[in-house]
Amino acid sequence: MSGKTYFMGYNKMGRPINYIHVKDQFSIEATEKLGILSVETSRKLLKGSIETGIVILDMNGFDLVTSDYNR
């Protein structure tokens, strides 16, 4: 899943920034695993008293009609 998600550094408050490309769709199971991995990685990147992170979802090119998110 190379390039689907990456960390862009930290914002002014010291929160880690996670950037996710939604366009490149994967199975529900793979997406859930990626979500868990991203949260765990963000947790390890927290510094000091910071307890939150930021997630940016790039929805450019995402098409709900062809997505496999029909739960």
Q: What confidence tens digit (pLDDT) does each residue in 6-28 have?
A: 898 999 999 999 888 776 666 77
Give the chain's end-to-end CA distance (angstroms, integer). 22
Which pLDDT score, from 0 to 100, does residue 4 have?
Answer: 77
User: In this structure, what is the dihedral angle of CA atoms 19, 66, 30, 46, given to the nearest 10 degrees?
Assistant: 20
Q: Which two tokens stand for residue 50?
A: 């910071």
Per-residue model confidence as pLDDT tens digits over 24-34: 666 778 777 88
Beta-carbon neighbour count of residue 1 at 10 Å? Answer: 12
Which of 57, 56, 55, 52 has its CA nearest to residue 14?
52
What pLDDT sits at residue 1?
A: 47
Q: Once rounded to an integer, what is the mean pLDDT over residues 62-70?
A: 61
Give pLDDT, residue 17. 92
Question: Which among 55, 43, 66, 54 has a CA at the least distance from the CA of 15?
Answer: 54
In the chain, where are the structural domains located? 5-58
